[in-house]
Amino acid sequence: MPLLELVTSAGLGSLLGMRHALEPDHLAAVSTLVTGERGSARAAWLGACWGLGHTLTLVAAGAVLVVLRAEMPAPASDAFEFCVSLMLVGLGVRAIYLAARQGPDGPAHLHHHGRLVHAHPGAPAHVHIGRWTLARRPLLVGAVHGLAGSGALTALVVATLPSTAARLTYMALFGMGSTVGMAALSGILGWPLGQLARHHAIARGVSLTVGCVSTALGLFWGYPLVGRLF
């Protein structure tokens, strides 16, 4: 693989990956996830978890398509896009629900003590990998977005890059750029959201607004797909 081709793929893939993080469905999904966080560092980590899930499925599915020299079937692509729409609606409804039942200390989480179940503020669900703690919900949300975008990205790299190595490099760096971009954006969002979280009424209003926007975008995104799938 020529050096110039590698450098070009690396630079272009990283930059486009960062821009990709700013697409409306990504912004809506991550906004519902970071709303309620009280610091930039935590919000940035949630964004990075989204980016990691996005990169893993994007590169895995894209690599299979590139190696097999195949295209994503249109029904499968529509199905993945529809899953994104459903997920946006689900995240939006969840944000609205949490805003409605939010107590003075923030969203309540169910907690079990044997047969006794009660709700109180607590840590959201997460996954441990060694000493690392990954937020489970952003990881899953990012993974679904990655599957939905893998077909279009594969078609792009096959059309523009001449070798399999260049295509795989481009996709990997595209995913890394998306991760960095989303982590940076989430960190930037985290500070004002943390300030607003000090005022309970405002925090609930923000959560309600973000939930409504995410729900509306999911319905708008998914409506044209219903006719093609069903």
The pLDDT value given to residue 154: 81
Closest C-alpha among 86, 102, 97 to residue 217: 86
Alpha-carbon separation of residue 82 from 109, 139, 163 (angstroms): 29, 18, 32
SS3 content of the chain, % helix, strand, coil (to 5): 75, 10, 15
**Is residue 74, in this structure, part of any structural domain at all?**
yes
Residues belonging to the chain: 230
Per the DSSP assignment, residues forming a β-bridge with 109 are 120
**Is residue 115, in this structure, part of any structural domain at all?**
no
**Is residue 172, in this structure, part of any structural domain at all?**
yes
Closest C-alpha among 117, 121, 124 to residue 49: 124
The pLDDT value given to residue 114: 58
Which parts of the chain are beta strand (E)? 109-113, 116-120, 126-129, 132-135
The pLDDT value given to residue 131: 45
Closest C-alpha among 23, 33, 31 to residue 148: 23
The pLDDT value given to residue 219: 93
**Is residue 7, in this structure, part of any structural domain at all?**
yes
**Is residue 113, in this structure, part of any structural domain at all?**
no
The pLDDT value given to residue 115: 62
The pLDDT value given to residue 86: 92
Q: How many domains does the chain have?
A: 1
Output the tens digit of pLDDT for each of the chain's 230 residues: 454 454 455 455 556 656 666 677 777 877 777 776 667 887 888 888 888 888 889 889 988 888 888 888 888 888 999 999 999 999 889 888 877 876 555 555 555 555 665 555 444 554 444 444 456 788 888 898 888 888 787 887 777 777 888 788 888 888 888 888 888 888 887 777 667 666 777 778 888 888 899 999 999 988 988 888 87
The pLDDT value given to residue 130: 45
The pLDDT value given to residue 13: 52
Instruction: Quote the domain boundaries for residue 185.
Output: 3-103+122-225
The pLDDT value given to residue 127: 47
**Is residue 82, in this structure, part of any structural domain at all?**
yes
Complete DSSP assignment for 22-48: TSHHHHHHHHHHHTT---HHHHHHHHH
